[in-house]
Amino acid sequence: MLSLPRLSLALGFTFAVALGAHAASFPKPDPEKQFADIKVLDAQGHPWRSAIEDWPGAKQRVASDPAWSQWLAGERKTVDSWMAKHLDRVEWIAGWSHDGVSPKDGSALTWNAKIPGEEAPFLSSPSDPEVAITPKLMAWWVVSFRDKHVETMQRAARLWRLTGDGRFAEWVERQMDFYADNYLKWEPVRADQGARLFWQSLTEATNLIKFTEAVRLLGDHVPAAQRAHWREKFFQPEVAVLNKNFQAIHNIATWQRSAVAQVALLYGDEAMWRDAIGGNFGLRRQMAEGITSDYLWYEQSLGYNSYVVAAVNTLFTVAGLYGRADELAAEMATAENLMLATLYLRFPNGQLPNPADTKGIPTAPNRASFAANYRVFPTTLGLAEAAGRRDWDTLLDPPPPAPRPFVLPTISSRSFESSRMAVLKSGSWQVFFHYGQLTKSHSQAEALNYSAFFGDTDITHDPGVVGYGSPLYKAYYQRGLNHNVPLVNGEGQEPISPGELLSFSPTSVSAAQSKYRKDARARRTLSIEGNQLIDTATVESTASTPQKLGLAIQLQGKVRLPESFVAGSTLKSGRPEPFGYWRDVRSASYHDRAEFDVVYGNVIMRVTIATPGDFKLWHASTPDVPPKRRESFYVETTGTSATFTTTFTPR
């Protein structure tokens, strides 16, 4: 039987009984003082600032600075071209942005402005040059078109404010009239969310922010009656949609509350403002319960750190323009740390670990995010990055020089216990361990998964997922076989669980899942011993009869496979759907242990796989970040308990 002792960690928070309805705040004492070396403080010692819009200064800059004059000419040309060629249509129904994937290999389709079926005979991706136009893919095209159309309204309003050219203001007014007059003619695309312009309320929220800025910039140019018409026929119904759903702690809810708060500022609606900020699932609660004590977003996908920061940054920027930033001081300090925390998880090449369902592999530092947020969160990196950029932000709110060079923080072994993660760093090895979840949202069957680097060499990683619209998303990438995890009859963890941290030291971490599956439990220990990485994974079935107990091992190198491995395997037979995506399968039988050399460029690893008694080992080409593939092992034995020890030794 597995022994599952409890490690007392006294972190001052508890997990909600129902993970899907998280209800515990994470302690975050003195958030302004965290990550101090990267932040730039004002005269009062605050790491955040109130954004400004310096329109007189912007006009002077584009008039006197040739580089700014050239930038403005390019901006005018882009907006003029779109205004001249494109109009939205009531008959166009928007789809899901994640549906734009190749049916052949799951690769992302390339969007362009040519109307499918009218101006373009097919769609394409870099690896799939001719993709047939289907209603689903047409709807995907529409969501991207509409998003770009609304963004152009925002840019045109800025151009009017900067240049005084009435053509831009008049075009924005016509578009607003179109959307206000027709908004309720679009039927909700999804009954559960009520979005009309877009497939989901998230996209409705992100674009409502752009609509709000466009109208704010038009100001008194718009007659009061017309402005009131837009409020009644467009903004109020939009707010009603966003307030209807995602009454929960969620990245989408954060976008929704941020959007609604900006509408409240636009129309001076104090009741709407109070509800968006301090309501039951308002912004304050999103920051308190959605951000862990480690300053990681609790849905665990590290991409959501920067995504949530992008959401609240839009609000914090506008709040500063309205003179209300001080009301959000605590939330701003907390959100800035969300932007910075992933720096402490990065691998030596800047690649980030990949828990939950991020598409592709993120990197840190996210220079674009740091630069985009400098107006509210000035940091040494953000100011340095913004200094070389010419865009609306740097035109209206020029960044001051960074007071000192940006220095990447040193990576060390660290337990991110409130986030259910850990990092080991010793010698040339760096390991990321993900042992449990805090919420079902964006979770995968990946508890007890790990990734590892040896120096700059990627030994094994989590490839993330394909677009949500691809069959591969649920059929392969979310499943246990895609991860370095124990498997019971070919399947990984279900249901989700926070797991339990059993022990942690600078060179070793151990965690358990007492309910890995309804009829199984599992435990894993990762240890760095000298120049070796040793992984010990134990899985135990509570069934009364022997089960297929296995382990998936993902490798980013090339295995020197011995001749004993033969093709013609029956791996797919009697095993779950994900095994069908393994190609060029070969297998061999072993007793107690198997050893292989795996070539990673100039690094060669001796990989030893050990489990007592007879076991079967399969090797195959398996899906990596699309359209790439990698090599993987699947080791399997039969019984009610098995321990698999995998050792990586550089040669």
Sequence-distant (6+) residues with CB within 8 A of 374 are 382, 383, 385, 386, 393, 399
Sequence-distant (6+) residues with CB within 8 A of 164 are none
pLDDT in tens, 319-334: 999 999 999 999 999 9
Tell me what the mean pLDDT of segment 291-310 comes to: 97
CA–CA gap between residue 318 and residue 309 (Å, rounded): 14
Report the candidate in 405, 404, 397, 399 with the shortest Cα–Cα distance to residue 386: 399
Sequence-distant (6+) residues with CB within 8 A of 504 are 7, 415, 417, 422, 510
Structure confidence at residue 523 (pLDDT): 98
Report the candidate in 283, 263, 267 with the shortest Cα–Cα distance to residue 275: 283
What are 554's strand-pairing partners? Answer: 632
HSE on the CB side for 250, CA within 13 Å?
A: 16
By three-state DSSP, how is residue 65 classified?
coil
Whether the pLDDT of residue 568 is over 90: the answer is: no
Q: Which helix (H) or strand (E) holds 641?
A: strand 641-650
- Return phi, psi of residue 338, to 5°: -60, -35
Domains of the chain: 414-650 (2.70.98.70)
Residue carrying the six token digits 């995998």: 646
Whether the pLDDT of residue 27 is over 90: the answer is: yes
Sequence-distant (6+) residues with CB within 8 A of 29 are none
- Alpha-helical (H) ranges within 388-470 are 392-396
CA–CA gap between residue 381 and residue 530 (Å, rounded): 35
Residue 495: is the preceding peptide bond cis (ω within 30°)?
yes
Phi-psi region of 464 (alpha: psi -120 to 50; beta: other; left: phi over 0): left
By three-state DSSP, how is residue 302 classified?
coil
Where does residue 279 rank: exposed (0-12), middle (13-18), buried (19+ CB within 10 A)?
middle
Whether the pLDDT of residue 15 is over 50: the answer is: no
What confidence category does residue 17 fall into, taking pLDDT thresholds of 50, 70 and 90? very low
Whether the pLDDT of residue 20 is over 90: the answer is: no
What confidence category does residue 107 fall into, taking pLDDT thresholds of 50, 70 and 90? confident
What confidence category does residue 6 fall into, taking pLDDT thresholds of 50, 70 and 90? very low
CA–CA gap between residue 125 and residue 106 (Å, rounded): 9
> What is the torsional sign of CA 599, 590, 492, 571?
positive
Window from 13-22, 33-42, 188-197, 617-626 with minimum mean pLDDT: 13-22
What confidence category does residue 12 fall into, taking pLDDT thresholds of 50, 70 and 90? very low
Structure confidence at residue 10 (pLDDT): 33
CA–CA gap between residue 383 and residue 373 (Å, rounded): 9
By three-state DSSP, how is residue 132 classified?
coil
Mean of the per-residue pLDDT values of the chain = 94
> What is the torsional sign of CA 379, 380, 381, 385?
positive
pLDDT in tens, 581-636: 999 999 999 999 999 999 999 999 999 999 999 999 999 999 999 889 999 999 99
pLDDT in tens, 131-160: 999 999 999 999 999 999 999 999 999 999
Q: What percent of the chain has pLDDT over 90?
A: 92
pLDDT in tens, 517-548: 999 999 999 999 999 999 999 999 999 999 99
Q: Quick count: other Cβ atoms within 10 Å of Cβ 339?
A: 27
What confidence category does residue 104 fall into, taking pLDDT thresholds of 50, 70 and 90? confident
Whether the pLDDT of residue 19 is over 80: the answer is: no
Structure confidence at residue 570 (pLDDT): 83
Window from 101-110, 216-225, 496-505 with minimum mean pLDDT: 101-110
CA–CA gap between residue 504 and residue 27 (Å, rounded): 21
Q: Judge whether 557 and 597 are in contact, CB under 8 Å.
A: no
Structure confidence at residue 582 (pLDDT): 97
Structure confidence at residue 585 (pLDDT): 97
Residue carrying the six token digits 């959501």: 304
Structure confidence at residue 106 (pLDDT): 81
pLDDT in tens, 335-350: 999 999 999 999 999 9
Rounded (10°) CA dihedral 157, 162, 168, 173:
40
Q: Judge whether 493 and 447 are in contact, CB under 8 Å.
A: yes
Q: Judge whether 651 and 500 are in contact, CB under 8 Å.
A: no
pTM: 0.92
HSE on the CB side for 79, CA within 13 Å?
A: 23
Structure confidence at residue 291 (pLDDT): 98
Whether the pLDDT of residue 2 is over 70: the answer is: no
Q: Judge whether 581 and 621 are in contact, CB under 8 Å.
A: no
What confidence category does residue 256 fall into, taking pLDDT thresholds of 50, 70 and 90? very high
Whether the pLDDT of residue 23 is over 90: the answer is: no
Residue 362: is the preceding peptide bond cis (ω within 30°)?
no
Strand arrangement of the beta sheet that strand 421-426 belongs to: 414-416, 421-426, 429-434, 449-454, 457-460
Where does residue 559 rank: exposed (0-12), middle (13-18), buried (19+ CB within 10 A)?
middle
Tell me what the mean pLDDT of segment 289-315 comes to: 97
Structure confidence at residue 467 (pLDDT): 84
CA–CA gap between residue 224 and residue 546 (Å, rounded): 75
Whether the pLDDT of residue 305 is over 60: the answer is: yes
Whether the pLDDT of residue 491 is over 60: the answer is: yes
Structure confidence at residue 1 (pLDDT): 34
Structure confidence at residue 390 (pLDDT): 97
Q: Judge whether 50 and 324 are in contact, CB under 8 Å.
A: no
Structure confidence at residue 295 (pLDDT): 98
Structure confidence at residue 450 (pLDDT): 98
Structure confidence at residue 632 (pLDDT): 98
Tell me what the mean pLDDT of segment 404-424 comes to: 97
Residue carrying the six token digits 């599992």: 522
